[in-house]
Amino acid sequence: MSTLEIRDLHVNVVQSDENAEPINILKGVDLTIKSGETHAIMGPNGSGKSTLSYAIAGHPKYEITRGTITLDGENVLDMTVDERARAGLFLAMQYPVEVPGVSMSNFLRTAASAVRGEAPKLRTWVKEVKEAMGDLDIDAQFGERSVNEGFSGGEKKRHEILQLGLLKPKFAILDETDSGLDVDALRVVSEGVNRYAEREHGGILLITHYTRILRYIHPQFVHVFVNGRVVESGGPELADELEENGYVRFTQAVGA
């Protein structure tokens, strides 16, 4: 059993203009996720949901000004980005980046070697990748293409979940994984997330605007995120309320 714990987290976003003051985005986030739990964070645009995901992953643009993030009692904020990945944290980005000149097959094996502490045996690895790609309806030829280069939005998201299945982290942070997906791709990607949760008993932090992905991935906990913090938590029924009534009740309560 592993635990990812966030306490009183305050985060500023550093501006590209060196003379500009950082913008305070997160204003005291408290959240605890345990192995086998799926938590959905829902909130309007600009509420800080993606900032939370990047702060956990260690993006240098996001400055922690107060609070803690711990993984099984270890201080995540003292870890570099690669150390966080090796410790068991995984971020599926809303907009996966392209890496020209690096093939998907080399990228995946290098990442797995770093996380596992040794290179997987080639014969076993080839079989593992083939099965994982088949589960996600990914053409084997994609393995020789550069990472995400020329991929459609749906193809990029499938490859994010391919990484999730192969790297087997303790916790997966999925930042709007459903954005840009058609109905078929949404189903395939969601099934991949559910396979990871079942096989690895991993914890999931699912960030989304909409409830459509929650038809496939069923969270035990739903949190409403407004103005840089969690303003209400509940079960799946809270997502149903948001689908029906939107965020007005919550934004008015905090003056957002």
Judge residue 21's burial from the number of C-beta atoms within 10 Å of its C-beta, 0-12 exposed, 13-18 middle, 19 or more buried: exposed
Q: If you average pLDDT over residues 110-118, what whole number do you get?
A: 91
The pLDDT of residue 217: 96
Sheet of 62-71, strand order: 23-34, 3-13, 62-71, 74-75
Mean pLDDT taken over the chain = 92
C-alpha separations of 200 from 16, 35, 114, 129, 171 in Å: 39, 9, 18, 16, 10
pLDDT digits (tens, 9 = 90+) for 167-182: 999 999 999 998 888 8
Q: If you average pLDDT over residues 231-239, what whole number do you get?
A: 95
Q: Within 13 Å and on the Cβ side, how many CA atoms surround 65?
A: 13
Chain centroid to CA 8: how far? Answer: 20
**Whole-angstrom Cα distance, residue 107 to residue 118?**
15
**Whole-angstrom Cα distance, residue 219 to residue 40?**
6
The pLDDT of residue 256: 56
pLDDT class of 127 with cuts at 50, 70, 90:
very high
With a pLDDT cut of 90, the percent of the chain lying above it is 70
Q: If you average pLDDT over residues 205-232, what whole number do you get?
A: 94
Residue 19 has pLDDT above 80, yes or no: no
The pLDDT of residue 110: 92
The pLDDT of residue 253: 76
**Whole-angstrom Cα distance, residue 111 to residue 248?**
42
Q: If you average pLDDT over residues 66-77, what whole number do you get?
A: 97
Judge residue 232's burial from the number of C-beta atoms within 10 Å of its C-beta, 0-12 exposed, 13-18 middle, 19 or more buried: middle
pTM for the whole structure = 0.92
Which 8-state DSSP code applies to residue 29? E
With a pLDDT cut of 70, the percent of the chain lying above it is 99
